[in-house]
Amino acid sequence: MSTSFIMLGIESSCDETAAAVVRADGIVLANEVASQMEVHAGYGGVVPEIAARAHLDSIDRVIAASLNAAGLDLDGIDGVAATGGPGLIGGVLVGTVTAKAIASARQLPYFAVNHLEGHALSPRLTDKVDFPYLLLLVSGGHTQLLAVHGPGAYERYGTTMDDAAGEAFDKSAKIMGLGYPGGPAIEQLAILGDAKAISLPRPLKGAPHCHFSFSGLKTALAKRHAACVADDSQAPVESQDLANLAASLQRAIADCLADRTKRAMERFAEAHGASTLVIAGGVAANQAIFETLSTLAQGAGFAISVPPAWLCTDNAAMIAWAALERRDQPDSLDFAPRPRWPLDPQASPPPGRGVRS
């Protein structure tokens, strides 16, 4: 396959409208991201209808900016890829329709990319990690442990039974009045806090499977936050209490991720031997979590790989790259966007409640 193939990638499944131009040899020629963070900040989370309208408003401009940054026009593009799901369907529709229109007008191959596959293959864009590897995908919408065997070949070891890790950060930050997105705000505040000051649970610690649960942690944090208000009998909560809450929450989430990942590394090593642990998704930007998992991986004989921050949070370079990994297999223009799209449809569901995919 030609290494000079140039892919235009489009991402619009959540609150970032992004376009990138990536060459098959791994050179990122352009990577533009228009964040809607400010639009949603006042709501404490992403509002789907507002997100879809904002994607529509900016997608043409973002694509034009990325072509401009790459020094190309559409004549220089060999294929068009867009996130086809999973995600907020209004946004996915905007990206999909745009990509199909370009592909159809220019007679270019079209690729419908699974957003999770974009995250899953992203370390290969910068680190050239070999298959198979163990992936901990931790974002605002997903928390999954997967054995990655190759493009389209995933074995899901575990997923969350309720909230995603990023959601636990975001919902807790909302309770604490820290705004959206919660992860970076909590990480910053945690520097000033004592992680041992407030006792929070470690849901599913020691469980024999690799699934996650975070909703109990958020509820416990809400109770401890309310107790701080009651103790002080004044609002807002003392800043030291808030910092202690942030540090204790971050430690609890890091401990839960480490405990479940340890179990997954054992399972992976039994089947394939020790390999590389890749952490991807927005939460991978958290330094305390990275350090915890790094120590864990070293102890188990695994190498660790974390894509750079610009590739960890939502972006279109990872979408273009996932399509480049299978550039000889384009999709039909009939592809229907999917709000849910598990990477491993055969995976057994976690015990208990509903499953996120």
Tokens of 247: 């540090």
91 binds ligand KG4 (CB under 6 A): no
DSSP H helical ranges for 4-150:
37-41, 48-70, 89-106, 115-121, 123-126
Instruction: Output the smallest distance, CB 119 to Zn ion, in A.
Output: 6
Q: Which stretch binds ligand KG4 (CB under 6 A): 133-141, 216-224, 230-238, 292-300?
A: 133-141
Cα Rg of the chain (Å, integer): 20
Q: What does the DSSP assignment read for 255-275?
A: HHHHHHHHHHHHHHHHHH-S-
Instruction: Output the smallest distance, CB 314 to Zn ion, in A.
Output: 4
Specify burial of residue 301 (Cβ count, 10 A radius: 0-12, 13-18, 19+): exposed
State how far the Cα of 343 lies from the Cα of 341, in Å rounded to an integer: 6
Residue 330 near which of Zn ion, ligand KG4, none (CB within 5-8 Å, type-dependent): none
- Closest C-alpha to 8, from 143, 126, 129, 102: 102
**CB closest to ligand KG4, residue no:** 183
Specify burial of residue 2 (Cβ count, 10 A radius: 0-12, 13-18, 19+): exposed
State how far the Cα of 24 lies from the Cα of 34, in Å rounded to an integer: 24
State how far the Cα of 183 lies from the Cα of 286, in Å rounded to an integer: 8
144 binds ligand KG4 (CB under 6 A): no
For Zn ion, give the closer residue by CB, 139 or 292: 139
State how far the Cα of 333 lies from the Cα of 288, in Å rounded to an integer: 43
179 binds ligand KG4 (CB under 6 A): no
For ligand KG4, give the closer residue by CB, 314 or 325: 314
Binder of ligand KG4 out of 169, 214, 321, 341 (CB under 6 A): 169
Task: Please give the residues from 184 up to 243 whose contact with ligand KG4 meets the rule CB under 6 A.
Answer: 184, 187
- Our CA angle for 63, 69, 70, nearest 5°, is 90
Instruction: Output the smallest distance, CB 169 to ligand KG4, in A.
Output: 5
Binder of ligand KG4 out of 9, 79, 95, 282 (CB under 6 A): 282
314 binds ligand KG4 (CB under 6 A): yes
**Are 182 and 154 a contacting pair, CB within 8 Å?**
no
- Residues in contact with Zn ion by the rule CB under 5 A: 139, 314
Instruction: Output the smallest distance, CB 190 to ligand KG4, in A.
Output: 9
Binder of ligand KG4 out of 31, 172, 313, 357 (CB under 6 A): 313
Q: Which stretch binds ligand KG4 (CB under 6 A): 72-80, 134-142, 200-208, 295-303?
A: 134-142
Instruction: Output the smallest distance, CB 237 to Zn ion, in A.
Output: 31
Instruction: Output the smallest distance, CB 334 to ligand KG4, in A.
Output: 26
**Are 144 and 261 a contacting pair, CB within 8 Å?**
no
Instruction: Output the smallest distance, CB 11 to Zn ion, in A.
Output: 8
Q: Which DSSP symbol is given to 130?
A: P
**Are 279 and 306 a contacting pair, CB within 8 Å?**
yes
86 binds ligand KG4 (CB under 6 A): no
252 binds ligand KG4 (CB under 6 A): no
Residue 183 near which of ligand KG4, Zn ion, none (CB within 5-8 Å, type-dependent): ligand KG4
Instruction: Output the smallest distance, CB 124 to Zn ion, in A.
Output: 17
State how far the Cα of 138 lies from the Cα of 88, in Å rounded to an integer: 17
Binder of ligand KG4 out of 182, 193, 330, 350 (CB under 6 A): 182
For ligand KG4, give the closer residue by CB, 140 or 330: 140
**Which residues make up the interface to ligand KG4 (CB under 6 A)?**
14, 139-141, 166, 169-170, 181-184, 187, 281-283, 285-286, 313-314
